[in-house]
A and B are shown apart, each in its own frame.
Chain A
Amino acid sequence: MIQIDHVYKIFNAGKPNQVNAVNGIDLHIKTAEFLVIVGSNGSGKTTLLDMIAGSVFPGTGSIKIDGQNVTKLPDYKRSQWIARVFQNPMSGTASELSILDNFRLAAIRTKPKGLTIGINDTFKNQVKEKISTLGMGLENKIEQQMGTLSGGQRQALTLLMSVMGSCKVLLLDEPTAALDPRSAEIVMRTAEELIKDYRLTSILITHNLKDAFNYGNRIMLMGEGLVKKDLDAGKKAALKQNDLFEWFG
């Protein structure tokens, strides 16, 4: 589903503050694979994710999604495949719009935004039904401003929003970093269910080694802009939680 070949990314090239964020990565992610990426700060995880999403372009190398070369395609055009959940709950939702408005925009992620009113009773019921699966009691608050909700509620809704339209790739950039443990668990469990139900190709970046151990069917360690370790489903299953801690030892 995602094919990355010889990708390099250097920021501030030639200046004293040059950063070699990604130093030649080859990566193939199969359909419905759930890849977890761990690595210390500055290891290039987020740059890699940003390049897949299209908010950062690689210096050299190529990126293909679903067989199509998207190396120079901007992020708003890659949305036809990709949905994103950001580290900051504010980034994934529009706080001054209602929950309903947010879901409407998500539902037409892959479509043009035309001059017709898309929110009707059928759509409202569809959104209510979706939201009720979270069990957070938000289904009766769909006319409320998104900004009135907590970070955990917003992240959970962002996840649901990603499957409102057709979605093939889900990118999760530390989605639970800003959340309390309980909300974090709800968000991660929701993510796992959606990934299974919709057979999404997913990438999770996390600093939480427990999550890295519990979720996903492939795990990768990044350091200095390179892939240091790459374990497939079988090897990941055999991995012990302590082994993971030792990677950072």
Chain B
Amino acid sequence: MKIFNIPDITTDGSYTLGAVVTAIFLTHHQPIYFTLPAVAIAGATAGALTGLIHTKLKINALLAGILVMTALYSVYLALMGRSNLPLINVSTLFNIINISPDPNNNTFWILLIFISVITIIIGYLLKTDFGLAMRATGNSETMIRALGVNTDRMKITGLAIANALTAISGYLISQQQGYTDISMGIGVVIIGLGSVIIAETFINWLRLTSVWLSLLLVLGGAIIFQFVLAVTLDIGVNPIYLKAVTAVFVLLIVSLPRISFRTAK
């Protein structure tokens, strides 16, 4: 279920950006429902910037993402004035909404509702004519240009949407963990890529064209990914090796299908 053929590293930056904007708004006692759109707009701006650099200046998408991500570090520091901002004694999503008396269960239900709503919105979007054109942009650019789509604009819009979503996950996680740190975004792009690639393996294997099934598989991929990391810690691997485990795991899921196909021939 990859939409564009672009590994967008802005992700690392917009995740933190979302958390930074959340921390600033909440410590200034802004309501969470007002914070959410601000976070989305901040993320979308970062994504659109990467898109503009990539399409208008014809710079490699990877480099465009790295440039925006790097510049964002200064933005966080300028906005927060320091590298770490705790969210203590502020109203967050998780202490305003009370679905269950157990805080763990409460977090689970809030996130489940959040994810369901976002999944439905994305699923609907991808099934519309606009969504089809977006998926085709990543798949066959020559075709979709011949069918009347401005692919530059489509890529900018797509990257804006993707980074708005990433910023929203920064919004959620900073409230859940109770602080924002400027280095919290390192490696988020790998988690995202890993989750999508796990799903992609199944999608290609089953030759799926259903948007809903694909989205469910991506969610499943994300859960599997986190599970592997949790199990790694649980069996007593030193946490300093966690990033190495992450990288090796992504390498494995990327390479395993190829290795098995080669021996099958």
- Could you tell me which A residues sit within 8 Å of B by CB distance? 53, 55, 74-77, 79-80, 82-84, 86, 90-98, 101-102, 104-106, 108-111, 113-119, 143-145, 148
Tell me, in angstroms, the Cα distance from A93 to B207 when the chains sit together.
17
Given A91-B143, A95-B140, A97-B139, A108 and B209 contact (CB-CB distance below 8 Å): no
Instruction: Tell me if B150 is interfacial: C-beta within 8 Å of chain A.
Output: yes
**Contacting chain A: which of B36-44, B92-100, B104-112, B128-136?**
B128-136
Most buried by A among B127, B128, B209: B209
CB-nearest residue of chain B relative to A110?
A: B148
Chain A residues near B142: list those with CB within 8 A: 86, 91-92
Instruction: Tell me if B191 is interfacial: C-beta within 8 Å of chain A.
Output: no
Q: How many whole Å from A87's CB to the nearest CB in chain B?
A: 11
**CB-based contact B209/A76 at 8 Å:** no
**CB-based contact B143/A93 at 8 Å:** yes
Instruction: Tell me if B125 is interfacial: C-beta within 8 Å of chain A.
Output: yes
**CB-based contact B128/A76 at 8 Å:** no
Q: How many whole Å from A138's CB to the nearest CB in chain B?
A: 15
Given A115-B130, A144-B209, A96 and B135 contact (CB-CB distance below 8 Å): yes
Besides the known contacts A76-B146, A111-B148, A114-B129, 13 further A-B residue pairs in the complex with CB atoms under 8 A apart: A92-B142, A92-B143, A95-B139, A96-B139, A97-B135, A105-B136, A105-B144, A109-B147, A114-B128, A116-B128, A117-B124, A117-B129, A144-B209
Chain B residues near A92: list those with CB within 8 A: 140, 142-143, 146
**CB-based contact A113/B209 at 8 Å:** no
Q: How many whole Å from B240's CB to the nearest CB in chain A?
A: 39
**CB-based contact A114/B147 at 8 Å:** no
Given A93-B143, A108-B129, A98 and B136 contact (CB-CB distance below 8 Å): no
**CB-based contact B129/A75 at 8 Å:** no
Chain B residues near A84: list those with CB within 8 A: 146
27 example contacts (A-B, Cβ-Cβ < 8 A) are as follows A76-B145, A76-B148, A77-B148, A79-B145, A79-B146, A82-B146, A91-B140, A92-B146, A93-B140, A94-B135, A94-B140, A94-B144, A96-B135, A97-B209, A113-B133, A113-B149, A114-B130, A115-B125, A116-B128, A116-B129, A117-B124, A117-B128, A118-B128, A118-B132, A119-B127, A144-B209, A145-B207
